Chain A
Amino acid sequence: MAIDKKEQYTDFEKPIIDLYNKIEELKRVSAETGVDMTGEIESLQKRVESLYKVTMKDLTPYQRLQIARHPKRPTTLDLISGVFDDWFEMKGDRLYRDDPSIIGGIAKFSGISVVFIGHQKGNDTKSNVYRNFGMPHPEGYRKAMRLMRHAQKFNLPLITFIDTPGAYPGIEAEERGQSNAIAESICLMSLLSVPSLAIVIGEGGSGGALAISVADRIVMFENSVYSVISPEGCASILFKDAKFADKAASALKMTSYDLLSLGIIDEIIEEPLGGAHRNKDLTIEKTKECIKRNISNLLSLSDEERRRAKWNKYANMGRYISPSTE
């Protein structure tokens, strides 16, 4: 396990960092004094590793959300530059402007051409302002729709990367039809017949995430979240105070494990110990494997088979009591 002290750590990682510092201290003392402490160091290292594993396994949903929102978490651009052999970004919605909080284009992946779309967050203040913190305006979704039509026209698989706190709530977004842009995008994507795969890589924030996630298969990074509303928003509306966000995060069932067991998503992509940002190369490898397997499975079906399976998938979403279906 490699720990870089310059990185940002979450609260629940503090005890692990303390232990790690102790190991460093022992190593230094051992080197200075010439006393052999290999045994102590090794046993401590084992302890750190197992503590880290247990900590990560037992994270509360709200703690997991902190990993999903980690400033160093790989973004769509980080992933596609590793996952794709080559790619060409296509910008603009041809109606108003280019929205930098959604990117997309055409790419080469394992010898085939694919279309990709993804929310794009920044990794520092300046780039986050440019990317609007990954919160798209209507033109972002209209660009996404242009790319979906492109995929359908040229019969190319579509891969989307989901990472947004939500669609932007602002005056201009409303004026230009945020609701309509999201609704049209959901509708269009739900009826595509080309193979499609949605990967939730960080935050799956409500309708703004759903707009580009109505795919044949939905997979989630282990520590990502996908929710109908942010836990903060839910807490302030339902619990009457935003400070209950941790409670809301648990109640909403927004983690990858919860959503897999509820049948909302199809698969979880395991993350390196500590989260995707701790080992980007490994994250990229796992993502690549997942895309390859899913796209090749989907390509083995006919258009009609995929269309029917997708229809059934979304038609069956929901839990209710009905005498006729019992």
Chain B
Amino acid sequence: MLEKFFNVKKKEIPGGLWTKCPNCNNAIYTRELNDNLKVCHHCNFHFRLTVQERIDITFDSFEEMFSEILPVDSLNFVDTMPYSERLKEAQYKTKREEAIVVGVGIINGKSIAAGILDFDFIGGSMGSVVGEKIFRITNYAKENRLPLILFSSSGGARMQEGMFSLMQMAKTAMVIGKFKDDGGLYISVLLHPTTGGVSASFATLGDIIIAEPGALIGFAGPRVIEQTIRQKLPQGFQRSEYLLEHGMIDAVIERKALKETLEKLVSWHGY
């Protein structure tokens, strides 16, 4: 599995042979970093994974669904560039059509409905497509009696879609609520960073909520809070460990133990 992981992503590692850890500033032999699931072995900093890397380290196999749903600039939104251009740019950069991949993954022979947000695609922001795909995969999980796992990393709602994006919070929270009421297991995995409209909707509604170490998780971003209260924020504020301490999540799980943990939780719930 690690071999496959390494091979897939080798070309995307910046800096070639050595990678500098942004947390401890140590130089890490890139191959070693990849073998360690992109976790710094000096300071345990978890580098961000691409969606493909996340799929590779989590599932034995994965089949994407609903990829035919595509974004549209329905408000003709223009900021420093037109939204339609921004979409094209993101699509070119990530080789994906939108900020989420949903489908069914297999762990140890068990089928799991899953969604993985792509932070590289306009900050993993939730617009109409992200909402619709979560809606459909959750209903698919309900109809097929599968557990649901969503991996979130997102700046929040997609501003360029205006109120349509805000309404995705209602749409996703509603479908997840129904899924849970009907007895479905929903595990939410919070990755760095998960804020705004995503953290204030489906991401914090998990029957079980797990975070990777050091992930920034919150409603408002730290900059907005600092500007509002005009004081420095405490050390470690809004990080996974801080949320765990304040009772907002169930566990902080290291990347290398995540797959095993998810498999265990799913099977303990009778799947």
Contact = CB atoms under 8 A, between A and B. Distances in A.
Contact of A264 (B164, B178, B203, B218): B164
B70 interface: yes
Given A207-B200, A318-B171, A319-B72, A170 B229 contact: yes
Interface in A136-152: none
Given A174-B225, A190-B173, A227-B166, 18 more contacts: A169-B219, A169-B224, A169-B225, A170-B220, A174-B237, A175-B246, A187-B205, A191-B174, A207-B157, A207-B169, A211-B200, A214-B170, A228-B161, A237-B159, A238-B80, A240-B80, A311-B178, A314-B167
Interface of B: 68-72, 74-75, 77-80, 127-129, 131-132, 135, 157, 159-171, 173-178, 181, 196-197, 199-205, 217-220, 224-225, 228-229, 233-234, 237-238, 246-248
17 contacts: A168-B228, A178-B218, A179-B203, A179-B204, A184-B205, A207-B157, A214-B173, A228-B165, A228-B166, A239-B79, A251-B75, A252-B162, A311-B174, A317-B171, A320-B132, A321-B70, A323-B68
A: contact size bracket: 35 or more
B174 A314 contact: yes
Interface string A4-43: 0000000000000000000000000000000000000000
Nearest to B78: A251
A228 B157 contact: yes
- Which of B80, B204, B224, B234 gathers most chain A CB within 10 Å? B204
A317 B204 contact: no
Given A178-B220, A179-B219, A315-B135, A171 B237 contact: yes
A322 B69 contact: yes
A228 B163 contact: yes
Given A170-B228, A229-B157, A238-B80, A180 B248 contact: yes
Contacts of A168: 228
Interface string A164-194: 0001111101111111101110111011000
Contacts of A206: 157, 166, 197
Interface in A267-323: 311, 314-315, 317-323
Contacts of A210: 166-167, 169-170
A200 to B, nearest CB: 11
Interface SS of B by simple majority: helix
B205 A183 contact: yes
Contact of A207 (B69, B71, B159, B166): B166
Contacts of B217: 179
B170 A186 contact: yes
Contacts of A314: 167, 170-171, 174
B72 A321 contact: yes
Contacts of B161: 228, 319
B162 A186 contact: no
A234 interface: yes
Nearest to B180: A187
- Which of A207, A240, A315, A323 gathers most chain B CB within 10 Å? A207
* 7 A-B pairs with least C-beta separation: A169-B220, A318-B128, A190-B174, A238-B79, A317-B167, A319-B74, A178-B219
Nearest to B224: A169
Contacts of B77: 251
A252 B174 contact: no
A324 interface: yes
A253 interface: yes
Contacts of B72: 319-321
Contacts of B165: 228
A95 B202 CA distance: 23
Interface in A178-227: 178-180, 182-184, 186-188, 190-191, 206-207, 210-211, 214, 226-227
B159 A252 contact: yes
Contacts of B197: 206-207, 228
A170 B177 contact: no
A158 interface: no
A190 B170 contact: yes
B87 to A, nearest CB: 11
A254 interface: yes
A67 interface: no
Contact of A191 (B163, B166, B177, B220): B177
Nearest to B242: A175
Contacts of B219: 167, 169, 173-174, 178-179, 182, 207
Contacts of A182: 200-201, 219
Contacts of B170: 186, 190, 210, 214, 314, 317
Contacts of B167: 210, 264, 314, 317-318
Contact of A180 (B157, B178, B204, B233): B204
A320 B72 CA distance: 5
A325 to B, nearest CB: 9
A136 to B, nearest CB: 11
A1 interface: no
Nearest to B74: A319
A187 B170 CA distance: 7
A206 to B, nearest CB: 6
A259 interface: yes
Nearest to A169: B220
Contacts of B229: 170-171
